[in-house]
Amino acid sequence: MMDTEINEFIETTCLFSSGQIKPIFFRWRNKLYKIQKIVFQFTKKIGREKVFYFSVETETNACQLEFNSEKQTWKLLKIFS
């Protein structure tokens, strides 16, 4: 499996429920990707910022997403193909 560094901001639709974050869709380069499965997730403290990482599967690829709760931003970090 090969991974490609992307590190670009994305628009994300997600569900916030019972203290959990669940990304549902994301838009990257004008294409909408439906997240079919969250494979793995973890949280990291970077200074004051709490950053959430998600390894997800879409219909075409596996991806790594990042949510920065302090800045309220989402990034597509990597695509695995």
In tens, the pLDDT along 23-38 reads 999 999 999 999 999 9
| pLDDT < 70 regions, the chain | 1
Question: Can you list the pairs that 11-17 forms with residues at least 24 positions away whose Cβ atoms lie under 8 Å?
Answer: 11/74, 12/65, 12/67, 12/74, 14/67
Task: Give the range of the structural domain holding residue 62, as residue numbers without chain letter.
Answer: 3-80
Q: What is the pLDDT of residue 13?
A: 97
User: Which distant-in-sequence residues (6+ apart) come within 8 Å of 1 by Cβ?
Assistant: 62, 80, 81
- Name the DSSP class of 71: T
Question: Taking a C-beta distance cutoff of 8 angstroms, is the pair 7, 28 a contact?
Answer: no
Residue 65: count of CB within 10 angstroms of its CB: 23
Q: What is the pLDDT of residue 19?
A: 84
Q: How many domains does the chain have?
A: 1
How far, in Å, CA of 38 to CA of 76, rounded?
14
Instruction: Tell if the pTM clears 0.85, that is, is over it.
Output: yes
